[in-house]
Copies of this chain bind each other. A is one copy, B any other.
Amino acid sequence: MAKGITARSEDYSQWYLDVVLKAEMAEHSPVKGCMVIKPTGYGIWEKIQQHLDRMFKETGHVNAYFPMFIPESFLKKEAEHVEGFAPECAVVTHGGGKQLEEPLVVRPTSETIIWDSYRNWISSYRDLPLLINQWANVCRWEMRTRLFLRTTEFLWQEGHTAHATHEEAEEETMKMVRIYQKFAEEYLAMPVLVGRKTDREKFAGALHTYCIEGLMQDGKALQAGTSHHLGQNFAKAFDVKFQDKDKELKYVHATSWGVSTRLIGGMIMTHSDDQGLVVPPRLSPRPVVIVPIWRSDEQMDAVLGCARGMVEGWDPLFYYLDDRDQYKPGYKFNEWELKGVPVRIEIGPRDVENREVVVVRRDTGEKATMPMDGLREKLEAMLVEIQANLFTKAKARVEASTHTVDSYDEYKARIGEGGFFRVFLDHENPEVEQQLQNDTRSTVRCIPFDAEEEEGACMITGKPCKYRVVAAQSY
């Protein structure tokens, strides 16, 4: 119970809320279900944006921006889509002091407004592929909200691409879920399952949906990113055709894919501990904090002077020198530990004399004394090590929490302990999935791409199955 943070073992939900609030990541707003993302949290979102945006651009995508308001009639053009999203919409009925002729929906996702534009942008095979991404806020009216994990308004990116063939759209759908996997593993240090959603869980309007699924410390799964093959559904709904090389008019094939501020919730629940936040170095806006220690004005001048000399030539985004004089060192140690900064450096008068510093790792708590000479290189190596250690630790936890179960009785008995459950299930039958959810509040999280062929019987119906799916309780 450090710093007013509930222990995970005591109450995991309260622990999560405590970490988010005490580390000043976000807070509830007076607007129901909406959050304020505070500078500490937003700094991490900026790092997420920066890395993902680069990955998108390296694979040929460009950014654009479409209106946040969508005419209600647009949403209705794709039957499954409206059924999925209409109940969650916020509706603008008045503008400029007058009632609107047609109500506007605040975008829950932008397929409809974007495909309405694409109709005018695409006429020939020369215009394809069209590879566009948008960074935006979206709104889905949620009953139960939780900071970062599920909020009425959230920030995300949504890719919307157009292709000449089914195969090219399929390739894009797969490419993007693999980019999400890479980002999750190498930046969030979060191991994920990668696979296909069942038909019941796929995006409203998609042929099929691929996803990455993480496993949080409490054994619940978190859907962290999705990539949808939309087929020709939206092209047909919005009449988007192109003249192909063979001179024939054809409907365009589509994909869409997105990740959101939810990733921050996933990061927190993958690495943080009872002391507060733990941020992977690659997502930390300034991964090293330097806390100078002094007892007199004279010492202050010496220590600060020495610290400033030490960091000369360092990238200003590599470190933060905490020279605030209204707070004591103990207060600062506490604050930076709570906020998850990967490495803390302490430097006092004796360190100045000895030309050394104390270095503390946030992930392990290890303390070491290091010479000032060559310090930056050592810190850079240490950050790489911390990033790798966080992933390794998380991977071991997920592996230890992945269970292979064959009988429904055992499943029902064990689902409460949390984890990924590798099971045989007739996922093509929606009634089976419904029963699973009713009995156990769990769902099929995905059909992993790497599921091996294996003969078995659905644990509920006994129907023969050829591979295992992964089920879990989830956020």
Contacts and interface: CB of A to CB of B under 8 A. Distances in A.
B38 A70 contact: no
A94 B87 contact: no
A96 B106 contact: no
A35 B68 CA distance: 10
A177 B334 CA distance: 37
A126 interface: yes
Residue in A94, A143, A326 with the greatest tally of chain B CB atoms within 10 Å: A94
A42 interface: yes
Interface string A109-140: 00001001100100000100000100011010
Contacts of A117: 27, 29, 36
A69 B143 contact: no
B35 A67 contact: yes
A103 B92 CA distance: 10
Interface in A54-82: 62-71, 74
Counting chain B CB atoms within 10 Å of each CB, the highest count among A42, A92, A103 belongs to A92
A34 B67 contact: yes
A68 B29 CA distance: 11
A67 B97 contact: no
A31 B69 contact: yes
A50 to B, nearest CB: 10
Q: Which of A70, A96, A139 has the most CB of B within 10 A?
A: A96
Contact of A37 (B65, B95, B103): B65
A30 interface: yes
Contact of A65 (B36, B86, B95): B36
Interface string A89-111: 11111111100000110100000
A157 to B, nearest CB: 13
B30 A42 contact: no
A36 B67 contact: yes
A91 B90 contact: no
Contact of A106 (B30, B38, B106): B106
Given A36-B64, A42-B65, A43-B63, A31 B71 contact: yes
A43 B29 contact: no
Contacts of A106: 92, 106
Copies in the complex: 2
A96 B87 CA distance: 5
Given A39-B132, A62-B43, A326-B126, A31 B91 contact: no
A29 B63 contact: no
A168 to B, nearest CB: 16
Contacts of A65: 36-37, 42, 45, 155
Interface residues of A, number: 57
Interface in A8-50: 27, 29-31, 34-39, 42-43, 45-46
A90 B71 CA distance: 14
Nearest to A261: B65
Given A116-B30, A141-B95, A38 B67 contact: no
A152 B152 CA distance: 23
A153 interface: yes
Nearest to A106: B92
A29 B113 contact: yes
A458 B45 CA distance: 53
A96 B64 contact: no
A67 to B, nearest CB: 4
Contacts of A64: 36-39, 42
A185 interface: no
Interface of A: 27, 29-31, 34-39, 42-43, 45-46, 62-71, 74, 86-97, 103-104, 106, 113, 116-117, 120, 126, 132, 136-137, 139, 141-143, 152-153, 155, 326-327
21 contacts: A29-B113, A30-B116, A31-B71, A35-B67, A42-B64, A45-B65, A46-B63, A65-B155, A67-B153, A69-B153, A87-B97, A88-B96, A89-B96, A90-B94, A91-B93, A93-B94, A94-B103, A96-B141, A96-B142, A96-B143, A126-B327
